[in-house]
């Protein structure tokens, strides 16, 4: 256990983020002294990290066997800079104690590309951005260069999208064949909900009708049908949904329509043909790994061969922009398993590959039942991330979007790679928060971007019964958000 003691309740979240990054899985107990000097009992903590906000300076100390301390002057009026100084002080002590650096330095947010993007927009060149990010965030040169490369590519893609005058649409289909071990998304067993699927679609259609009316003056730039697994819908339900979208909106400005066909065991020729009858331009068939043993451990009841069959069928049906999601750091996998997976992906040659680092969230079965899985080895390394990147490069795919999550294995990132001209536009729009994304369906979150860059969100309830019963309220929440 690590004990975090702060003299005041300030920046606890940020310090915790660094502790979790250096010591993943360790319990952290935090307390605020608020002037009660000497009353705190760190008990059996292996490490004690203290943060003292003093007159004009911050002092940080770490007790772990011996005690080490560092301090720096700050101007508390400048909150952003104070946070930055504090994080560098904490980082210095923790990296000396842990004997390692973090690839992203003190950056714990989910959108590191926003920093180079803003600097590029201000006219900074690459050398200036590298030294700024090294100095301020102690990030590695490799990660800084990756974030700059991606920011440049994002700019390139966005220059052809009239995003300021447009919006995007997300439709959530929260059903899957089984639940993956690491899943923290809204996902329910399709077998249970199949008899009520028309009811779910009826509720979605109410939200579609509202969106059509609310955005009649805006251009629809991208549509993303995700989940869950949208291809768990039967061909008839899929047809109902796609027809409704096509009839409801003008698609004159539509630049991309993605449907996740995530689980290969949900893909059939009939469904692919249904997608092709509508202007769906991009699909996603997600292996996560090509190792049969790992697929079993993570609760996916399909074989690697089914992935190849679904992919081949999608090509035969004419899909020329197929994404495949992978996860690095899955249980019992090491570099040789990543290499094996990448070889099989290389043979398929998808147009997009999205490489994720396993992030175990609170709601995941893997976390809730952690004792049951304690015997499994989880590891993600620079070598594994590097192997995935190398194969993407060999396939001619370029990194085009990047984001990070809390509790990521190895403290790395998720990177989307795409062949030129096939980058997922929706992914960039959502990452860079450039426009409103209307999100429909149980468990989805709408993000409204207002002039001047102010961002506000509203959620739909996750529970399907609640969603169906409270659909008027979900629409009302959106109405309020947009007004
Ligand atoms: S396919 Fe995705 S949404 Fe479905 S259970 Fe697995 S992780 Fe969750």
Lowest mean pLDDT among 6-15, 235-244, 389-398: 6-15
Backbone angles phi, psi at 115, to 5 degrees: -70, -55
CB 244 within 8 A of CB 211: no
The residue count for the chain: 483
In which element (H, E) is residue 146 found? helix 141-158
| 180 within ligand 1 shell (Cβ under 6 A) | yes
Residue 364's pLDDT is what?
Answer: 84
- Tell me how far apart the alpha carbons of residues 360 and 409 are, in angstroms, rounded to a whole number: 8
Q: What CA–CA distances, in Å, run from 44 to 40, 62, 274?
A: 12, 15, 61
| 185 within ligand 1 shell (Cβ under 6 A) | yes
- Which tokens sit at 348? 């398929």
| 229 within ligand 1 shell (Cβ under 6 A) | yes
- Tell me how far apart the alpha carbons of residues 150 and 120 are, in angstroms, rounded to a whole number: 12
- Tell me how far apart the alpha carbons of residues 189 and 15 are, in angstroms, rounded to a whole number: 38
Tell which atom from ligand 1 comes closest to the C-alpha of 263.
1
Distance separating the N- and C-terminal Cα atoms of the chain: 47
| 338 within ligand 1 shell (Cβ under 6 A) | no
- Tell me how far apart the alpha carbons of residues 381 and 445 are, in angstroms, rounded to a whole number: 32
Q: Give distance in angstroms: CA of 296 to centre of ligand 1.
A: 14
Q: What is the pLDDT of residues 403-425, one digit of tens each?
A: 998 777 778 899 999 999 999 99
Residue 43's pLDDT is what?
Answer: 59
Q: What is the pLDDT of residues 72-126, one digit of tens each?
A: 999 999 999 999 999 999 999 999 999 999 999 999 888 899 999 999 999 999 9
Q: What average pLDDT does this structure show over 432-461?
A: 95
- Tell me how far apart the alpha carbons of residues 95 and 56 are, in angstroms, rounded to a whole number: 25
Q: Whose CA is nearest to atom 5 of ligand 1?
A: 179
Share of the chain above pLDDT 90, in %: 84
Does the pLDDT of residue 345 top 90, yes or no?
Answer: yes
Crossing angle of helices 141-158 and 425-432, in 10° steps, is 110
Does the pLDDT of residue 463 top 80, yes or no?
Answer: yes
Lowest mean pLDDT among 103-117, 240-254, 310-324, 335-349: 103-117
- Tell me how far apart the alpha carbons of residues 44 and 42 are, in angstroms, rounded to a whole number: 6
- Tell me how far apart the alpha carbons of residues 201 and 108 are, in angstroms, rounded to a whole number: 38
Q: Give distance in angstroms: CA of 98 to centre of ligand 1.
A: 34
Tell which atom from ligand 1 comes closest to the C-alpha of 176.
4
Does the pLDDT of residue 460 top 90, yes or no?
Answer: yes
Tell which atom from ligand 1 comes closest to the C-alpha of 228.
3
pLDDT band at residue 388 under the 50/70/90 scheme: very high
Q: Whose CA is nearest to atom 3 of ligand 1?
A: 228
Q: Give distance in angstroms: CA of 444 to centre of ligand 1.
A: 15
Q: Give distance in angstroms: CA of 183 to centre of ligand 1.
A: 5
| 184 within ligand 1 shell (Cβ under 6 A) | no
Cα–Cα–Cα angle for 225, 363, 374, nearest 5°?
Answer: 125
User: Three-state SS for 142?
Assistant: helix
Does the pLDDT of residue 440 top 70, yes or no?
Answer: yes
Residue 187: closest CA among 227, 231, 154, 139: 227
Give the count of beta carbons closer than 10 Å to the beta carbon of residue 16: 17
- Which tokens sit at 38? 């000497």
- Tell me how far apart the alpha carbons of residues 341 and 53 are, in angstroms, rounded to a whole number: 49
- Tell me how far apart the alpha carbons of residues 208 and 45 are, in angstroms, rounded to a whole number: 53
List residues bridging with 115 in a β-sheet: none
Q: What average pLDDT does this structure show over 335-363?
A: 94
- More confident site: 2 or 365: 2
Q: What CA–CA distances, in Å, run from 259 to 164, 253, 347, 426?
A: 24, 18, 23, 11
Residue 50: closest CA among 89, 81, 108: 89
E strands, 174-311, in order: 175-176, 188-189, 219-227, 256-260, 282-284
Residue 36's pLDDT is what?
Answer: 61
| 323 within ligand 1 shell (Cβ under 6 A) | no
| 176 within ligand 1 shell (Cβ under 6 A) | yes
Q: What average pLDDT does this structure show over 324-328?
A: 97
- Tell me how far apart the alpha carbons of residues 253 and 215 are, in angstroms, rounded to a whole number: 13
Q: What average pLDDT does this structure show over 157-178?
A: 95
| 298 within ligand 1 shell (Cβ under 6 A) | no
Q: Give distance in angstroms: CA of 184 to centre of ligand 1.
A: 8
Residue of 180, 192, 356, 444 best suited for mutating to test ligand 1, as the one with most atoms within 8 Å of CB: 180
Residue of 227, 288, 297 best suited for mutating to test ligand 1, as the one with most atoms within 8 Å of CB: 227
Residue 55's pLDDT is what?
Answer: 94
- Which tokens sit at 157? 């893609």
Q: Give distance in angstroms: CA of 11 to centre of ligand 1.
A: 33
Q: What CA–CA distances, in Å, run from 38 to 5, 7, 42, 43, 350?
A: 11, 11, 10, 13, 60
Residue of 173, 185, 296 best suited for mutating to test ligand 1, as the one with most atoms within 8 Å of CB: 185
| 227 within ligand 1 shell (Cβ under 6 A) | yes
pLDDT band at residue 131 under the 50/70/90 scheme: very high
Cα–Cα–Cα angle for 355, 360, 8, nearest 5°?
Answer: 115
- Tell me how far apart the alpha carbons of residues 212 and 235 are, in angstroms, rounded to a whole number: 24
- Tell me how far apart the alpha carbons of residues 447 and 455 are, in angstroms, rounded to a whole number: 7
Supply the mean pLDDT for the chain. 94
Q: Give distance in angstroms: CA of 186 to centre of ligand 1.
A: 8
Residue of 173, 181, 228, 267 best suited for mutating to test ligand 1, as the one with most atoms within 8 Å of CB: 228
pLDDT band at residue 232 under the 50/70/90 scheme: very high
Share of the chain above pLDDT 70, in %: 98
Residue 62's pLDDT is what?
Answer: 96
Q: Give distance in angstroms: CA of 349 to centre of ligand 1.
A: 23
β-bridge pairing 322-328 and 352-357:
parallel
Residue of 182, 187, 286, 367 best suited for mutating to test ligand 1, as the one with most atoms within 8 Å of CB: 187
H helix runs in 349-458, sequence order: 365-368, 382-394, 425-432
pLDDT band at residue 216 under the 50/70/90 scheme: very high
DSSP 8-state class, residue 260: E
- Tell me how far apart the alpha carbons of residues 281 and 77 are, in angstroms, rounded to a whole number: 50
| 245 within ligand 1 shell (Cβ under 6 A) | no
Residue 390's pLDDT is what?
Answer: 98
Residue of 229, 295, 325 best suited for mutating to test ligand 1, as the one with most atoms within 8 Å of CB: 229
Residue 423: closest CA among 229, 254, 230, 258: 258
Residue 407's pLDDT is what?
Answer: 73
CB 258 within 8 A of CB 424: yes
Tell which atom from ligand 1 comes closest to the C-alpha of 262.
1
Does the pLDDT of residue 20 top 80, yes or no?
Answer: yes
């Amino acid at each position: 256990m690590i004990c975090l003691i702060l003299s005041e309740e300030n920046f606890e979240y940020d310090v915790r983020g660094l502790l979790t990054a250096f010591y993943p899985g360790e319990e952290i107990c935090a307390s605020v002294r608020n002037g009660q000097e000497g009353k705190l009992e760190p008990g059996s903590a292996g490490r004690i990290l203290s943060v003292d906000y003093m007159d004009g300076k911050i002092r940080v100390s770490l007790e772990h066997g011996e005690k080490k301390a560092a301090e720096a002057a700050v101007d508390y009026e400048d909150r952003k800079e104070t946070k930055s100084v504090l994080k560098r002080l904490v980082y210095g002590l923790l990296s000396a104690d842990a004997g390692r650096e973090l690839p992203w330095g003190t950056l714990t947010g989910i959108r590191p590309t926003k920093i180079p993007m803003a600097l590029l927009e201000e006219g900074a060149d690459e050398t200036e951005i590298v030294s700024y990010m090294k100095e301020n965030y102690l990030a590695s040169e490799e990660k800084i260069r990756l974030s700059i490369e991606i920011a440049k590519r994002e700019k390139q893609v966005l220059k052809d999208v009239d995003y300021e005058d447009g919006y995007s649409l997300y439709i959530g289909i929260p059903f899957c064949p089984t639940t993956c071990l690491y899943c923290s998304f809204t996902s329910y067993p399709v077998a249970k909900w199949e008899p009520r699927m028309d009811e779910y679609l009826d509720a979605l259609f109410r939200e579609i009708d509202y969106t059509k009316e609310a955005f009649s003056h805006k251009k629809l730039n991208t549509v993303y049908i995700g989940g869950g697994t949208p291809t768990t819908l039967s061909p008839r339900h899929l047809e109902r949904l796609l027809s409704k979208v096509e009839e409801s909106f003008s698609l004159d400005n539509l630049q991309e329509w993605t449907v996740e066909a995530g689980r290969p065991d949900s893909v059939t020729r009939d469904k692919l043909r249904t997608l092709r009858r509508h202007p769906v331009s991009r699909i996603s068939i997600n292996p996560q790994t090509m190792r049969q043993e790992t697929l079993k451990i993570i609760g996916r009841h399909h074989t690697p061969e089914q992935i190849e069959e679904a992919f081949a069928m999608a090509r035969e049906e004419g899909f020329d922009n197929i994404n495949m999601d992978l996860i690095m750091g899955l249980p019992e996998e090491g570099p040789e398993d990543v290499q094996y997976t990448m070889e099989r992906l290389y043979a398929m040659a998808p147009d997009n590959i999205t490489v994720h680092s396993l992030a175990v969230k609170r709601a995941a079965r893997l976390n809730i039942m952690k004792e049951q899985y304690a015997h499994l080895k989880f590891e993600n390394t620079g070598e594994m991330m590097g192997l995935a990147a190398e194969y993407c490069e060999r396939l001619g795919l370029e990194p085009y979007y990047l984001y990070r999550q809390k509790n990521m294995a190895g403290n790395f990132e998720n990177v989307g790679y795409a062949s030129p001209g096939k980058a997922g536009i929706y992914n960039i729009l959502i990452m860079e928060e450039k426009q409103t994304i209307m999100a429909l369906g149980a468990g989805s979150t709408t993000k409204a971007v207002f002039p001047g860059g102010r961002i506000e969100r509203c959620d739909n309830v996750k529970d399907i019964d609640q969603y169906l019963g409270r659909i008027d309220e979900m629409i009302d929440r959106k109405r309020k958000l947009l007004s």
